[in-house]
């Protein structure tokens, strides 16, 4: 069953021992604030150097793979979520695409365990409960069609994010 392969935790994503962590990046892949800055800081300067070699950076809704460098995670998938504009600019679709593309890239590289942050919910201002619902439902649908992924962890920063993701997961339970 798909739901038994999903966890929701409160932790520092940079400390997790999984195959790949997901970075809520910006299109330039040059680091920034929030989880992006924390991942770049923890991975060390070689991450930025590797990101500079990716032509065109990463458009919104897409995903790119780099090495984890100094992280416990072997790899980092960088994905760029949408900036919230009130819900009329395909933000829901772009956010769901971030999760699908990240999971697809993971499967394409034979990776088994992944941890996601709450993409677009920080400075991009995507409403937290709406984002959590999209994240969990998109991931559950992907896992239903693909059994190669062993574990998906939603790594929440702070109680509001944790509660929103737990509620979204509970809403998927039959």
Catalytic residue among 36, 46, 92, 146: 36
DSSP string, 137-166: HHHHHHHHT-----EEEEEESSHHHHHHHH
Active site residue 12: no
Residues facing residue 7 across a β-bridge: 153
- Show the domains of the chain with their CATH numbers: 21-172 (3.40.220.10)
**pTM of this prediction?**
0.96
Query: Tell me: the pLDDT tens digits for 61-97?
Result: 999 999 999 999 999 999 999 999 999 999 999 999 9
């Amino acid at each position: 069953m798909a739901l038994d392969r999903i966890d929701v935790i409160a932790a520092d994503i940079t400390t997790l021992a999984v195959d790949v962590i997901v970075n809520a990046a910006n299109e330039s892949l040059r680091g920034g604030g929030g989880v992006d800055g924390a991942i770049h800081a923890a991975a060390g300067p070689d991450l930025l150097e590797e990101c500079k070699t990716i032509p065109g950076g990463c458009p919104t809704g897409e995903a790119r793979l780099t090495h984890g460098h100094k992280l416990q995670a072997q790899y980092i998938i960088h994905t760029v979520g949408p900036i919230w504009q009130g819900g009329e600019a395909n933000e829901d679709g772009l956010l769901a695409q971030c999760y699908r593309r990240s999971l697809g890239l993971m499967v394409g590289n034979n990776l088994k365990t992944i941890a996601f942050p709450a993409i677009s919910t920080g400075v991009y201002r995507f409403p937290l409960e709406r984002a959590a619902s999209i994240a969990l439902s998109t991931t559950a649908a992907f896992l239903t069609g693909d059994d190669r992924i062993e574990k998906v962890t939603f790594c929440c920063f702070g109680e509001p994010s944790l509660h929103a993701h737990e509620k979204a997961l509970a809403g998927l339970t039959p």
